[in-house]
Amino acid sequence: MKRFQLLFLGAFLLLSSSLFAQRDRVDYLPNFDKRKLHYGFYLGLNQNDFKIDYKTSNYANANISVAATSGFNVGLIADLRLHKNINLRFEPGLISNSKTLAFTHINTKQDSIREIGSTYLHIPFVFKFSTDRMDNVRPYVLAGISYDYNFSSNERNANDNSGVEFRMTKHNFMYEIGIGIDIYLYFFKFSPSIRGVFALNNELKYDNSATSQWTSPVNFLGTRGVFLNFAFE
């Protein structure tokens, strides 16, 4: 539900920003998009949980639910103009969020709940495909891949879930797609965007025991989330 709320908020902000910008017919920053390279920064919110696939044999009763809280994003932007409608963007930043995993097939409360707080170094390379500029507005779509370094992974910790340590991999890869709108203001360009982020690799570090009640039922566990970013360039 929170993910849908974030999507709705983002869609509302994109629409309202577009309508507001269209009211002013003075063309701001008319030569901004002719630059070969420019820089900026972004702030934002995220709502992440996990996509979980289970092994089909011997684990029919396994079930893991994920409760996520909203986190924040902050980072820098380097934008390279490849074509009048295509840009390549490098957007390194930090992402922070937390999640609660409930292993509902485990009866004891101490064993069935795991709190996961995560901070990632997020390094995406994203292609930005823009329409032609319309007054002070320019819609666009995004698509790219990213590398995430998980500072909170505990991958090398000798303890596993039997020692109350839920472990995840440190090095992860994602793909992301999104939409946004450039709004040209008097001094800078403001760009709200919504994007979905999806893991390519399994992020679960399996427990030491091959019959672990926490990790052995899981075939794949990967991040999926929604980012709402506000860029200033």
Domains of the chain: 2-232 (2.40.160.20)
Q: What is the per-residue pLDDT for 46? A: 93
Q: What is the per-residue pLDDT for 135? A: 86
For residue 147, is pLDDT > 90? Answer: yes
Structure tokens at 30: 């008319």
Q: Average pLDDT, stretch 89-113?
A: 89
Q: What is the Cα–Cα distance from 233 to 221, expressed in whole angstroms?
A: 35
List pLDDT tens digits, range 150-204: 998 888 888 888 888 889 999 999 999 999 999 999 899 999 999 999 999 999 9
For residue 69, is pLDDT > 90? Answer: no
Q: What is the Cα–Cα distance from 194 to 44, expressed in whole angstroms?
A: 10
CA dihedral of 196, 40, 133, 18, whole degrees rounded to 10: 60
Query: Are 143 and 130 a contacting pair, CB within 8 Å?
Result: no
Which has more confidence, 137 or 20?
Answer: 137
10 Å Cβ neighbour count for 47?
21
Q: What is the Cα–Cα distance from 49 to 65, expressed in whole angstroms?
A: 10
10 Å Cβ neighbour count for 131?
13
Percentage above 90 pLDDT, the chain: 55
SS3 112: helix
Q: What is the per-residue pLDDT for 8? A: 53
Q: What is the per-residue pLDDT for 171? A: 96
Host H or E run for residue 111: helix 109-112
Q: What is the per-residue pLDDT for 56? A: 77
Query: Are 53 and 220 a contacting pair, CB within 8 Å?
Result: yes
For residue 127, is pLDDT > 80? Answer: yes
pTM of the model: 0.84
Q: What is the per-residue pLDDT for 13? A: 56
